[in-house]
């Protein structure tokens, strides 16, 4: 019903993982540590029945941007070459509250280096108004 904030019904949230220079540095200094940290969180969320799914993205340099203007498609490399922060992956969780989703995001290592964005998913169902 899209009213999770009022009745504490579980809602799906996407945690968008953003990375920057600081992340790259942390990953190059202690890659195993970061991976272990992430694995532990995923294991815990799987155990609690909150984990829905997640994927990591290839480096932003492997990205292509497609635009169609006047019916003509144009493909360029990367999203924005000058961008300091890039989307690096996502997790999908189902939580009873927004606060819980924020708590998970805060524990994700990327939150320390760059940022996590927490966004509710749209539901395919709704109430008559």
- Answer for which of 44, 85, 96, 99 binds another protein (CB under 8 A) is 96
Question: How many Å apart are CA 129 and CA 108, to the nearest integer?
Answer: 38
Report in angstroms how near the CB of residue 94 gets to another protein at its nearest.
Answer: 6
Question: How many Å apart are CA 107 and CA 99, to the nearest integer?
Answer: 13
Q: Which stretch binds another protein (CB under 8 A): 18-26, 48-56, 78-86, 109-117?
A: 48-56
Question: How many Å apart are CA 55 and CA 100, to the nearest integer?
Answer: 20
Q: Which stretch binds another protein (CB under 8 A): 33-41, 51-59, 64-72, 108-116?
A: 51-59
Containing 29, the helix (H) or strand (E) segment is helix 21-29
**Site size for another protein, by CB under 8 A?**
32
Question: How many Å apart are CA 14 and CA 118, to the nearest integer?
Answer: 6
Which stretches of the chain bind another protein, using CB under 8 A?
Answer: 1-12, 46-53, 94, 96, 120-129
């Amino acid at each position: 019903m899209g009213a999770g904030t009022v009745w504490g019904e579980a809602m799906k949230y996407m945690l968008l993982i953003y990375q920057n220079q600081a992340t790259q540095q942390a990953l190059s200094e202690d890659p195993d540590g970061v991976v272990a940290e992430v694995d532990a969180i995923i294991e815990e969320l799987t155990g609690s029945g909150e984990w829905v799914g997640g994927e990591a993205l290839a480096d932003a340099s492997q990205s292509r941007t497609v635009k169609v203007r006047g019916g003509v498609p144009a493909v360029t490399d990367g999203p924005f070459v000058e961008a300091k922060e890039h989307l690096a992956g996502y997790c999908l969780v189902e939580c009873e509250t927004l606060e819980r989703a924020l708590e998970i995001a805060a524990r994700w290592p990327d939150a320390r280096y760059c940022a996590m964005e927490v966004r509710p998913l749209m539901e395919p169902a709704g109430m008559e108004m």
